[in-house]
Structures are given as structure tokens and as C-alpha cells.
Chain A
Amino acid sequence: EPEVTQTPSHQVTQMGQEVILRCVPISNHLYFYWYRQILGQKVEFLVSFYNNEISEKSEIFDDQFSVERPDGSNFTLKIRSTKLEDSAMYFCASSGRGRSYSEAFFGQGTRLTVV
């Protein structure tokens, strides 16, 4: 069964450092997402990506964040200068068809710890 894969599973970084979280969405999917979940809290939307550009982003997704789809398979989230409050589980997701009736499938997540 096709699945979304994320690497690394756990990343520890020092405050102020840049991190890149990587995702390989399901191959025929068109929409890609990044979500984050701080321990014990809800799943929060960061950004959606379609047709090689950001289609929507939340208030959390400030100038420190960027996304790229550098080739046909990878989808990356970069945090330029990490803060302690960026510590969270980051989930990548993808969905297939158009805007309606399209389930999103999640990767296993990357646990980011900023120290």
C-alpha cells in the first residue's frame, strides 16, 4: 500500500540552527501538506502546496519556514533559525484528487527537538 515517508524520524538541533525535514508523498498525489503537533496539543496546519507553489499557509508559517519540492518526489520543510518553541512532531501529508472528497494520508512524522 502506498505511503508517505518522512526522514529523519527524530532530529535534535541547537537553537538558531537550520533544519530540513524531508518527505516523500504518495506518488500520484497532487496536494502536499505540513502539519505540526506540539506534545499533548492538537494537530496544527502549517502549509499546503499544489502545482509547485504554496496554496495556503497559516500564521505559524512565518518567514522562518519554507517549503520546496526540489524534484518529482521529495517535499521538504526548512526552518531557518530554530527556536525552542519549534520543538514538535512535524507531519507531512498528501492527498490525491481535487479539492473535494480527498482524504489526506500522513507520514510517520519527524520529532524535532530544539535544545
Chain B
Amino acid sequence: RKEVEQDPGPFNVPEGATVAFNCTYSNSASQSFFWYRQDCRKEPKLLMSVYSSGNEDGRFTAQLNRASQYISLLIRDSKLSDSATYLCAVLRGDTGNQFYFGTGTSLTVIP
């Protein structure tokens, strides 16, 4: 079973829409969780860390559900500039300090 699984999409949404991505992880020893954004042929850039209590940064909200082992990212009021691939990443404490990435979910925001 893959460490981290994501729906690859693509998600095509109109401007202003709300879109949600989910990501599941297989190992309950996972400690830290993150969402990264990756533009075409660029490096992953940290979007936000995901905490048990949930966290919000402007139009972006991240949630963690440890019991069901998934994390989510909600984007409200989508902008054209949100078009990118969104990667979830999981840091396991039991295997050293390795980040496991999902395959990424592709988002295109349409005018």
C-alpha cells in the first residue's frame, strides 16, 4: 500500500468556486503533515502545515483527521493563480526524517 495517496485529478473549476482535496496516509506513526504547491517544472513550495486542530490561511483551510488517517485542503474563492499541482506530504517519525509525498492533485481554475 502506498504511504500517501491522492486523487490525481485533474480538477477543473471556475473562478470563485470552492474546491477540496483529500489525501490519505497509511502509517499511523506519521507525525507531521503538509500541503505543498508545485507549478509546472518548478520546485514544491510549502503552502501550509496541517495541525490536528485545523488551520486556516486566508482562502486556504487544512484539516487533519488522525482517526481516519487523512488530511484535506479546502480552497475558497478560487483564483486563476491557484492553478497548480497540490502535493500532500507526510513526515514519519519512525523511519528517520523522511517526507513521503503523494502524487499530487492537478487543479486548473478556469475564467
Contacts and interface: CB of A to CB of B under 8 A. Distances in A.
Interface residues of B, number: 25
Contacts, number: 67
Contacts of B101: 35, 42-45
B98 to A, nearest CB: 5
Interface in A72-114: 89, 91, 93, 95, 99-109, 111
Interface string B58-76: 0000000000000000000
B44 A43 contact: yes
A108 B93 contact: no
Contact of B102 (A35, A42, A89, A102): A42
Contacts of A42: 101-104
Interface of A: 31, 33, 35, 41-45, 48, 50, 55-56, 89, 91, 93, 95, 99-109, 111
